[in-house]
C-alpha cells in the first residue's frame, strides 16, 4: 500500500499559472502529478493545496481515490468553489496517475480502455476581417482539424464599435471601443453567411460567444445562426443565466456547448439531464479532476449529451493528458479543444500528448503518461503583473460579462 508522504506544487509559466501538483508516496520512485492550473489565482490554489488540503492527506492510502475525493470535497463544509475544486482536481489527477503507475497501465485502460483510435480536436481560427478568417479556417482544416472554431478577433470580436461613433455619456470614461449586442447580432451571422458561401457546408464550424450577450440576444443569435448549421455554438449565456437555455431549446436547433466556467454540479447536471445543451465544456481540473469528470461523461452517455472538455491557451500538458484519457475511454465524447505548447514547455513535460493532424495521441507510459522536469518547469516561471479585471464595457461604461 502506497501512503501519501508529501504534496507540493511546482509553478511554471509567467505568473506561475501552471500550478502542477506532485503527490509523493512512501514507495520509492512512486509519485503522481496533476494540474491545478489557474491563470488568475494560482497563488491561492497553491496555498490551498500546500497549506490546507495537502497536510490533511499525509499518511492516507493513495489508492483510495474515491474516498479521498469525497472526504476532501466535503471537508471544507462549504464546497464547489473554483479554488478548492481546482486544488482537489489537481490532487485527484495525481492520484489517478499513481494508480496507473502501480497498475503499469495508461490511464485510459483503467477507465475502460480505448473506444476510439485517437482524440479529434477542434482548432481556433480567427481573423480581423472575413477574408483573413476564411484563410485561417482553411489553414486549420489543411492541418487536419476536423472541427474549427471561427472568431472575428478576440473575445467579443464582431461586437465592438468605435467609442467615438456611438452615443456615450458626456462624463464617459476613456475607451477606444465599446461592446454592442446589436452589432454582434449583425456581424456574427454575416460572418457565417460569408464562410458558408466561401467554404460550403462541409466544414464543421463552431463559434464562441464568451458570454458577452444579454440573454434575450443569446436566444436571437441562436436562431439567426440556425441556417448555418453549426457544429456547436459555445457559451452563448453566462453561468448565471443558464435557465435561458430552455427558451433557446424551444425555438431553434443550433447545438449548444457550455460549461468552461462551471464548477458546481447544480450548473451542469440539470443542463445534461434535461438535454438543454449538446456539449458539456467543463475544464477537468476546475470540475474537481478525473473522478467527477468520468461521472459527468457517464451521465452524458445516458442523456445523449457529449463532452468537449475545455483546453485553450492557458492550460497545461497535464490537464490536457487528463482530458485525453477521459476522451479515449468515454463513449459520450464529442470533440476536444486543442492546445499547443512551445518546445521548451514540451521539454519540461516529457511524455506530453502528441497533437498531429488535428488529433491527440497518447503514449504507452503508465498513468497520465506525462511527467514533469521540475527544474525546467520552474525555469519557465516569470513574474507577471496581477491579472486584470473585466475589460469589455458597453457604451454607458458598464461591464460586459464574463
Ligand atoms: Co469558450
Go through the domains of the chain in sequence order and give each one's CATH number. Answer: 4-106 (3.30.390.10), 110-365 (3.20.20.120)
- Residue 390: per-residue pLDDT: 72
Tell me, in angstroms, the distance from the centre of ligand 1 to residue 193's CA: 22
Task: For ligand 1, an ion, list residues with CB under 5 A.
Answer: 208, 234-235, 260
52 within 8 A of 31, measured Cβ to Cβ: no
97 within 8 A of 34, measured Cβ to Cβ: yes
Tell me, in angstroms, the distance from the centre of ligand 1 to residue 74's CA: 29
- Residue 153: per-residue pLDDT: 87
Buried b or exposed e, range 133-152, using 16+ CB within 10 angstroms = bbebbeebbeeebbbbbbbb
Q: Does pTM surpass 0.75?
A: yes
Tell me, in angstroms, the distance from the centre of ligand 1 to residue 352's CA: 23
Phi, psi of 70 (to 5 degrees): -65, -40
Closest alpha carbon to 36 in 80, 84, 87: 87
User: Which residue(s) pair with 332 in the sheet?
Assistant: none
Q: Who contacts 282 (Cβ-Cβ below 8 Å, separation ≥6)?
A: 259, 260, 262, 268, 293, 296, 309, 310
Tell me, in angstroms, the distance from the centre of ligand 1 to residue 24's CA: 34
Residue tagged 441556417 (cell numbers):
227
Angle of helix 82-103 relative to helix 317-329, nearest 10 degrees? 70
- What's 51's DSSP letter? I
- The grid coordinates of residue 61 equal 492510502
- The grid coordinates of residue 148 equal 474549427
Q: Who contacts 25 (Cβ-Cβ below 8 Å, separation ≥6)?
A: 2, 3, 4, 5, 31, 62, 98
CA angle 336/208/13 to nearest 5° reads 65
Tell me, in angstroms, the distance from the centre of ligand 1 to residue 124's CA: 11
Q: Rounded CA gap, 338 and 77, in Å? A: 35
Question: Is residue 344 packed enough to be buried (19+ CB in 10 Å), middle (13-18) or exposed (0-12)?
Answer: exposed
Q: Rounded CA gap, 38 and 396, in Å? A: 31
- Residue 401: per-residue pLDDT: 80
Helix (H, G, I), strand (E, B) or coil at 106: strand
- Residue 242: per-residue pLDDT: 96
- Residue 83: per-residue pLDDT: 96
Residue tagged 494508480 (cell numbers):
99
Buried b or exposed e, range 44-64, using 16+ CB within 10 angstroms = bbbebbbeebbeebeeeebee
> Which regions of 88-220 does DSSP assign to beta strands (E)?
119-126, 147-151, 160-162, 177-179, 204-208
338 within 8 A of 121, measured Cβ to Cβ: yes
Longest dimension (CA), the chain: 70
Tell me, in angstroms, the distance from the centre of ligand 1 to residue 39's CA: 15
Q: Rounded CA gap, 280 and 287, in Å? A: 11
Tell me, in angstroms, the distance from the centre of ligand 1 to residue 201's CA: 23
- Residue 363: per-residue pLDDT: 96
Tell me, in angstroms, the distance from the centre of ligand 1 to residue 367's CA: 28
Tell me, in angstroms, the distance from the centre of ligand 1 to residue 231's CA: 14
Tell me, in angstroms, the distance from the centre of ligand 1 to residue 1's CA: 41
- From the first residue on, what is the mean pLDDT of each consecutive set of 10 residues in the chain (402 residues)? 97 95 98 96 96 97 98 89 96 98 98 98 97 98 98 91 95 94 98 98 97 97 98 97 97 97 96 98 98 98 98 94 98 98 97 98 97 97 79 92 78
- Residue 312: per-residue pLDDT: 85
Closest alpha carbon to 35 in 286, 274, 244: 286
Tell me, in angstroms, the distance from the centre of ligand 1 to residue 210's CA: 6
| Cis previous bond, 113, omega within 30 | no
Helix (H, G, I), strand (E, B) or coil at 295: helix
Tell me, in angstroms, the distance from the centre of ligand 1 to residue 157's CA: 13
Q: Rounded CA gap, 91 and 56, in Å? A: 12
- Residue 23: per-residue pLDDT: 98
> Which are the catalytic amino acids?
155, 210
Q: Rounded CA gap, 122 and 177, in Å? A: 30
Amino acid at each position: 500500500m502506497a501512503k501519501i508522504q508529501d504534496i507540493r506544487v511546482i509553478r511554471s509559466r509567467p505568473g506561475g499559472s501552471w500550478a502542477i501538483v506532485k503527490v509523493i508516496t512512501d514507495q520509492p520512485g512512486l509519485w503522481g502529478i496533476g494540474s491545478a492550473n489557474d491563470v488568475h489565482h494560482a497563488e491561492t490554489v497553491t496555498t490551498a493545496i500546500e497549506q490546507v488540503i495537502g497536510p490533511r492527506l499525509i499518511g492516507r492510502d493513495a489508492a483510495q481515490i474515491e474516498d479521498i475525493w469525497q472526504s476532501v470535497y466535503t471537508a471544507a463544509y462549504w464546497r464547489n468553489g473554483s479554488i478548492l475544486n481546482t486544488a482537489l482536481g489537481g490532487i485527484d489527477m495525481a492520484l489517478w496517475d499513481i494508480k496507473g503507475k502501480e497498475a503499469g497501465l495508461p490511464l485510459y485502460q483503467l477507465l475502460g480502455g480505448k473506444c476510439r483510435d485517437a482524440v479529434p480536436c477542434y482548432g481556433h481560427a480567427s481573423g480581423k476581417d472575413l477574408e483573413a478568417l476564411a484563410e485561417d479556417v482553411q489553414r486549420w482544416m489543411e492541418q487536419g482539424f476536423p472541427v474549427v472554431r471561427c472568431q472575428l478577433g478576440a473575445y467579443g470580436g464582431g461586437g465592438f464599435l468605435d467609442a467615438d461613433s456611438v452615443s456615450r455619456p458626456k462624463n464617459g470614461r476613456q475607451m477606444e471601443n465599446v461592446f454592442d449586442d446589436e452589432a454582434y447580432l449583425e456581424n456574427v451571422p454575416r460572418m457565417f453567411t460569408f464562410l458558408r458561401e466561401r467554404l460550403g457546408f462541409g466544414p464543421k464550424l463552431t463559434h464562441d460567444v464568451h458570454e458577452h450577450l444579454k440573454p434575450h440576444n443569446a436566444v436571437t443569435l441562436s436562431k439567426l445562426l440556425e441556417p448555418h448549421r453549426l457544429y456547436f455554438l459555445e457559451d452563448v449565456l453566462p453561468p448565471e443565466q443558464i435557465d435561458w437555455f430552455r427558451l433557446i431549446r424551444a425555438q431553434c436547433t443550433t447545438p449548444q456547448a457550455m460549461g468552461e466556467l462551471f464548477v458546481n454540479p447544480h450548473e451542469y447536471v440539470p443542463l445534461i439531464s434535461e438535454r438543454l445543451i449538446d456539449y458539456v465544456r467543463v475544464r477537468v481540473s476546475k470540475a474537481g479532476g478525473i473522478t467527477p469528470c468520468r461521472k459527468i461523461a457517464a451521465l452524458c452517455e445516458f442523456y445523449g449529451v457529449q463532452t468537449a472538455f475545455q483546453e485553450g491557451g492557458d492550460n497545461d500538458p497535464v490537464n490536457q493528458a487528463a482530458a485525453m484519457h477521459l476522451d479515449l475511454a468515454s463513449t459520450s465524447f464529442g470533440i476536444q479543444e486543442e492546445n499547443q505548447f512551445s518546445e521548451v514547455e514540451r521539454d519540461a513535460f516529457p511524455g506530453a500528448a502528441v497533437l498531429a493532424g488535428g488529433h491527440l495521441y497518447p503514449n504507452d507510459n503508465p498513468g497520465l503518461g506525462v511527467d514533469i522536469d521540475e527544474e525546467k518547469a520552474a525555469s519557465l516561471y516569470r513574474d507577471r503583473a496581477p491579472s486584470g479585471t473585466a475589460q469589455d464595457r458597453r457604451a454607458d461604461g458598464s461591464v460586459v460579462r464574463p
